[in-house]
Amino acid sequence: MISVVIKKTNIDQSEEAKELRDSMLSTVLDNYQSDTVKVARWGKPYLENCNVGFSISHSGSAILSAVNCERKATPQKDGLNFYFEGGNDFEIGADIEVLGKRKLDSLLKISNKRFSSAERQLINESLDKEAAVLEVWTKKEAYLKLTGDGLKGIADSDTEQLKKDYIFYTQKISLDNKEYILSVCVKR
């Protein structure tokens, strides 16, 4: 079961995202301690010998924490809570991006350099190009967080091809009078 929480933040996003992660993990793991979180290459955090995956992200004034395990994390009262079905594995990646932060021509330049032809076609066919670019971007980043490969593989990860082996959950949400796109990625 994938549990996702998005909250508004005004302070150090990285630290508050870690606090949200710790709060969620403590609801699904007995005796969870934040010092048990390890870091693999490219900075991917994980828990050893545990059937729980997690991912954090932040953008604008939003922080996101996603947990994938056999049970739901307890809902956070002051956040937006979402639940999705998990895949065959507990590894997970998640990303969130705020809409309106970058100019459309800048986003389209990025997509021309970093996106596959199938991904660019989806954007070209979309009525909301900015949201379409950010949907593809968040899917790519969620996938790369899941694999731990870091952003170096962003151009090589074709989300249309990856759908064969991975499940992507994407949502457009409103928080604090801003709109965001979030994506979560798990193995099928």
Q: What pLDDT, on a 0 to 100 scale, did the predictor assign at position 6? A: 97
Q: Up-side HSE of residue 6: CA atoms within 13 Å toward CB? A: 27
Q: Give the amino acid at 13.
A: Q
Q: What pLDDT, on a 0 to 100 scale, did the predictor assign at position 41? A: 77
Q: What pLDDT, on a 0 to 100 scale, did the predictor assign at position 29? A: 95
The count of other CB atoms within 10 Å of the CB of residue 34 is 11
Strand partners, 94: 184
Q: Which residues contact 163 (CB under 8 A, 6 or more apart)?
A: none
* Cα-based distances in Å from 4 to 61, 69, 119, 120, 153: 16, 12, 25, 28, 25
Q: What pLDDT, on a 0 to 100 scale, did the predictor assign at position 153? A: 74
Q: What pLDDT, on a 0 to 100 scale, did the predictor assign at position 152? A: 74
Could you read off the pLDDT of 24-64 as tens digits, one per residue?
A: 999 999 999 999 999 987 788 999 999 999 999 999 999 99
* DSSP H stretches of helix in 115-170: 117-125, 129-147, 159-162
Q: What pLDDT, on a 0 to 100 scale, did the predictor assign at position 12? A: 73
Q: What pLDDT, on a 0 to 100 scale, did the predictor assign at position 18? A: 92
List, for the chain, all residue ranges whose pLDDT scores fall below the cut of 70.
none
Q: What pLDDT, on a 0 to 100 scale, did the predictor assign at position 14? A: 86
Q: What pLDDT, on a 0 to 100 scale, did the predictor assign at position 150? A: 75
Q: What pLDDT, on a 0 to 100 scale, did the predictor assign at position 80? A: 96
